[in-house]
Structure 1
């Protein structure tokens, strides 16, 4: 059995190396750059207006949609902001040095154009099911706009598998691990509790998920960012030096220190790009599924709202985590056996180094981040399942998704991590191919939207 497990692990490592090799990374970055130029830097020109839409949370009564644009954004952020923003950034810095953070910024900034394009297509080509609920995302705009059924089915299949792995079992396991390590609670009890909360949330569908996400996401972000800002305020005099290191080592690599073995520019680039994709999900197409559920008057307006998710998840959340790791000088810490401390443990060490209860902020953040990621991905997987098997499969999917939380909390999940990463990567290919093929549609739709914004501005001034 051990030999079989080792063989499977080795096989999955090879598949992962193929899927997440430079072709995919460059494809995601390349399409982001292409869309940035095609749309004339829309993510920079209209970022202020996009946040204005988020804050105003304007209701478009009478328009199609199941939830408000704010609830749609919070649902997407619920699935996007997870353990990757706490543990993932630490892993990236330990492997690629502080310079990896620079490449995460680059990935997120150009990824905002990708997220915008995904979302505008998702809203434009969305449809309704027999219950009158909105259905949209890559599988729908691939089928309706391109007619490539085989590609749309591929996306939905990969998305459904990824939802059960990284969207469910890994999140449940992370909560169970934190609860056991901090409060000595049995993983089984944690699994049952999380499954109960998950069931109560997702059985009500997107409206229930949207309400829970719009409450928990801002709250958890406020607590975590608040704690990080206290640390940065206490050590503000170190921030310029950390920023200088980030920019310098992004192009030179970082020397070894303590348990940190050092990194090259290639490692910094690889870790920055891959973790930037993980934390922003730009290019995977998943966030556009939530965008399609939003109540909005025109696709472009919701696309701008959705676009801000990349900025908040990576530019804001990952930056404060990275700066905290930098100013507390925890990079290179070693644990048992002389191994470098990484992941959530490193972030907890950074917070605890400034105030004794800092570790609890990270613990609380991890629990909420993991839970909201779980319910956000429940919706993504549900829509993929509905596309493949029809809306009658949804109740069975919700029950199965809820029950799988329990073994997810209890089992060792090394193989699930690898399978999840592989299917996340596989999801990106159909979405990116469609974005490239439909870029003229995105450009035309954006042109009409900007003309509408100019007319609205004239009316406000007159």
Structure 2
């Protein structure tokens, strides 16, 4: 039954939603992800600046990468190639390209409608922009529930399954004991809340990402002469033009979109939860940097995994096996048995930070539903740890099917909300673009220019310090910002 429901939702509904609405946002915004691509690097540099008492934009980026860069980048890519052939990689790229615009708008809106809690920390996400932007709290509650179920429970079970079975494949470790060990380590971090989670992400995310990219690039460089031909195979296979993979075009599209969304999460409504906690001068700045996060996740990390598999010589059409073992054996085929060990260690780091991120998403939305209830929060932490252990020993097909169904429902609610709030997103984008056109290097958001929006004036004060324009240029006018 799970497979039948999953085939319909993720095989048809998800593709239309992600690619269709992502393309709509891209065209209507005049290709915002391309127009601001070089600007992303400048915003990334500025994100390194810290804010007293608040999480910096860089910390929010590391948190979002903690979630985006997880089992999907290793196991997910392996499964996509196994079931969809090389062409699935192309459709992962397409999903990421249009997904960058979806992520841009959802994270910008997450920042715009964020709220300051009793502890002085920012909280936000789809539930908040649905309640305060669409004035539909009931729909925000549904979104919060779906996020809680999808990330707090389903995805955590999947991530735990990936790491315990990887360690079993590489070292022979019993999945029961590694599941218990993983739950204990995560429980120690959960207790510290968002600030401890952010500190752990700050430390582990750059290390795990750079180490993984370094090793996969080493393998790619060793066989660099084959890369152009393999890229050609990927493109031809995506349209059924390669005879060896001609029968996989349908699977290539479905698996490319499904696993692409699972890897980069663009449009699911997850990233806005962590994007909202950052202290930034303008909501759009966080939208820009989160679009950059999608680019890093798919075009850099997922592509490295795909080329590692396809260039290794281990993968052949009709390969049968799970994505984790495929990636491990592909690396081992090039560098020796230590490749399996490296993938297991890398996956362990990927999963650990990803679960921390998923836990926070669940907690944030649980607080939206029930408020600051300590007993409920402790119950949630306990249940998450139990489900992490469950995922460590459960069947992979069951875990993936459950996660795919809840992910598709989540995308449906979030993307419809983004569509309804698209005009608001375009207004703040114009405000940002007008200030940049006037020579202002760091645009500042003035909530007094948007009196019709239900904003938290503590998070976005009226008449903040005026931004300084470059010499010879005047600040953008109020009328232009309000268009």
What TM-score do you get using the length of structure 1 for normalisation? Answer: 0.90
Are 1:132 and 2:113 matched, yes or no?
no
Aligned length in residues: 442
Q: Does 1:92 align with 2:102?
A: no
Query: Which of 1, 5, 29 in structure 2 is aligned with 1:15?
Result: 5
**Range 165-174 or range 437-446, more displaced:** 165-174
Q: Residue 214 of structure 2: which of 211, 226, 230 is its match?
A: 226
Query: Matches of 1:157 and 1:398 in 2, distance apart?
Result: 16
Q: Tell me how far apart the structure 1 counterparts of residues 17 and 292 of structure 2 sit (CA, whole Å).
A: 22
Rounded to whole Å, the distance in 2 between the matches of 1:186 and 1:268 is 34
How far, CA to CA, are the matches of 1:136 and 1:197 in structure 2? 27
Q: Distance in 2 between matches of 1:444 and 1:397?
A: 38
Whole-angstrom CA distance in 1 between matches of 2:364 and 2:51: 24
Checking the alignment, whether the CA contact within 8 Å between 1:164 and 1:401 is kept in structure 2 is: yes
Alpha-carbon distance in 2 for matches of 1:23, 1:405: 28
Q: Is this contact kept in 1: 2:162–2:324, CA < 8 A?
A: no
The reply to whether residue 345 of structure 1 matches residue 325 of structure 2 is yes
- Distance, in Å, in 1 between the alignment partners of 2:423 and 2:50 is 27
Measured in 1, the distance between the counterparts of 2:196 and 2:331 equals 33
Contact 2:359/2:384, CA 8 A, preserved across alignment? yes
Deviation at 1:178, TM superposition (A): 2.0
Aligned equivalent of 2:167, options 169, 173, 179: 179
Given candidates 23, 38, 48, the residue that maps to 1:48 is 38
- In the TM superposition, 1:51-450 aligns within 5 A as 51-59=41-49, 61=51, 66-256=54-244, 263-332=247-316, 340-356=320-336, 357-392=338-373, 393-412=376-395, 414-450=397-433
Q: 1:252-286 deviations in whole A, cap 9, x for unaligned?
A: 25434xxxx76332222222122211111111010
Counterpart-to-counterpart distance in 2, 1:461 and 1:363: 54
Structure 2 CA distance for aligned equivalents of residues 292 and 328 of structure 1:
41
Deviation track 1:364-403 (CA, whole Å, cap 9, x = no partner) reads 1111111111111000111111111112133432343234
User: Cα distance, 1:151 vs. partner?
Assistant: 1.7
Check whether the contact 1:332–1:340 (CA below 8 A) recurs between aligned residues. no
Q: Distance in 1 between matches of 2:215 and 2:388?
A: 29
Superposition misfits of 4+ residues, deviation over 3 angstroms: 253-256, 261-264, 410-414, 457-462
- Greater shift, 296-305 or 129-138, is seen at 129-138
Q: Which moved more, 1:309-318 or 1:175-184?
A: 175-184
CA distance in 2, matches of 1:263, 1:389: 50
Does the 8 Å contact 1:332/1:341 carry over to 2?
no
Pick the aligned partner of 2:22 from 29, 32, 57. Answer: 32
Contact 1:152–1:430 (CA<8 Å) still a contact in 2? no
- Structure 1 residue 111: deviation in Å? 0.5
TM-score normalised over the length of structure 2: 0.87
Give the secondary-structure state (helix, strand or coil) at the position aligned to 2:335: coil
User: Among 424, 434, 437, which residue is 1:451 paired with?
Assistant: 434
- Paired residues of 1:253 and 1:263 also in contact (CA < 8 A): no
Q: Given that residues 95 and 263 in structure 1 are in contact (C-alpha distance below 8 angstroms), is that contact kept between their aligned partners in structure 2?
A: no
Measured in 2, the distance between the counterparts of 1:147 and 1:207 equals: 30
How far does residue 342 in structure 1 lie from its aligned partner after superposition?
A: 4.1
Q: Aligned equivalents of 1:145 and 1:446: distance in 2?
A: 16
* Rounded Cα–Cα distance in structure 2 between residues aligned with 1:395 and 1:452: 45
The DSSP-based 3-state class of the residue aligned with 1:20 is helix
Displacement of 1:192 in angstroms is 2.5
Q: Return the offset for 1:314.
A: 0.7
Cα distance 1:16–1:36, how it changes in 2: closer, same or farther (>3 A)? same
The answer to whether the 8 A contact 2:240-2:246 is kept is no
SS in 2 for 1:330: coil
Indicate the SS of the match to 1:368: helix
Indicate the SS of the match to 1:353.
helix
| Correspondence for 1:4 | none
SS in 2 for 1:331: coil
Q: Which runs of 5+ in 1 are unaligned?
A: 1-10
